[in-house]
Structures are given as structure tokens and as C-alpha cells.
Amino acid sequence: MTQPVPRLSVPAALALGSAALGAAFATGLFLGRRWPPWRGLRELRLLPPEDSPLWQYLLSRSMREHPALRSLRLLTLEQPQGDSMMTCEQAQLLANLARLIQAKKALDLGTFTGYSALALALALPADGRVVTCEVDAQPPELGRPLWRQAEAEHKIDLRLKPALETLDELLAAGEAGTFDVAVVDADKENCAAYYERCLQLLRPGGILAVLRILSPLTDEGQVLSTDTASGGNAISLEFKQPLPPPGKPQ
């Protein structure tokens, strides 16, 4: 992975970074990494491999990872299931999009160590707020010192309870239509419910990003069809059917 370099302004970072890294975020794939262990699939490289000269060139010219964010990424990769975290390419694209729409409020479903929450927090202004949801209290505590190091801890509102409870609480508190960005990287069983509630909480023109829902595969690496999918894969396929109408969050 490339070494951190000074952060650039939004236009400069977006010029090459978003174009080069968009595919990594949109597909929810892992660059040169294995699929999550619960999928039990063989290693696939549907994006350029890490040793691709072209890919490394693009990363070297576009990756702008805050030092604390990089430290948290490396720390997370040392944890069990650490390779299921959002990649640095995905995090940068998400942060660039948040800056582009001048986001101030964000939702992050699936905190883990807080890498995605920190990436969002760093993209928000000083009075910004990231509501991040997690059911396990231990992983976020690994990241908290680095949130503090990045001077972004005050922006991160950690909710240690099921995400659906937090989303319902936010709706009950009258926060519908007030969030700019929502990222869903939590359990797939509730994915459709997360989707519906996030649509209610997002403002018109807001951004909804859902990781790891595309290209469900069999154990042989074949793409499933809707009539053969089952279990978690079926959930993903069913979730992809509804799309927001014009004027709703994207």
C-alpha cells in the first residue's frame, strides 16, 4: 500500500481519485484480498491485482490517507475478520463524495473498529456528526485512540445497540430527511430494513452506499441467478430490486 502524502483539496483529490477508485467502492469487492470468511469462497481478483503497475500508479497519484486513518486500517487488518473492513480506496471515494455534497451528518451502520466512521468524520466540517452503530463494544475501543489522535472523536456518535433500534430512535426524534450520507456495512439479514429507514433519514440528494451486495457467488465462483440463490445470497439479490424514485437519495 502506498505511503500517506499530504491531503489535497476536494477538486484535486476528485480529479483522479474518484475516477480510479469508483469501481472498488461500487462493487464492494476487495482489492487483492479474500472474500469474507463467512462466504467460504476461493480468492478472486476481479479488480487489478496489487502488483499491477497501472493500479499502483493510480493509487500513488490519488490516495490521500490521513496518518491516523492509515494506522487504524493496519490495526484493523490484524484483528479477526479484519480483512472484511472497508478498503482505503472505498473510504477515500466515500469521503470525497461527502465533501463534494458538503455533508454535515452521516450514518455508519457497522462500526467495527471505526475505520469507516473516522473516514467520514475527517470529511465533515468541525461541527459535523457521524452516527455509527455497533453491537460489540470491544472493536470500537481499538479505534477510539486513533479517533482522538485525528481530532475527530467529538464528531463520532457511537451507538452500542442494534442498528435498527438506533435508526428508529433517530426517526422518532424527528431527524428524518436530515442526514447527508448513509453507509450500510452491517448484517445482510436486515439489509432491506436498513435501506428503507436510511431512505427516510437521508435528505433529497443524499448518498446511500451499501457494501457487498453485488455478484453473489456459488462455492465454485459462479454468479448466482435469482432462481438459484438461497440464504444470505438470496437476501442480497432481493434487496437489489427496489430503487429510489427520482428526487430521492442516490
Q: What is the pLDDT along the chain (250 residues), one digit of tens a residue?
A: 434 433 333 343 343 344 444 444 443 333 333 334 434 444 444 456 667 888 888 888 888 899 999 999 999 999 988 888 888 889 999 999 999 999 999 999 999 999 999 999 999 999 999 999 999 999 999 999 999 999 999 999 999 999 999 999 999 999 999 999 999 999 888 988 999 999 999 999 999 999 877 655 555 555 555 444 444 444 454 555 555 655 566 5
CATH architecture designation of domain 10-239: 3-Layer(aba) Sandwich (3.40)
Q: Where are the domains of the chain?
A: 10-239
CA distance 215 to 5: 34
Distance separating alpha carbons of residues 66 and 6, to the nearest angstrom? 8
First CA to last CA distance, the chain: 30
Nearest to 180 by CA among 128, 215, 117: 128
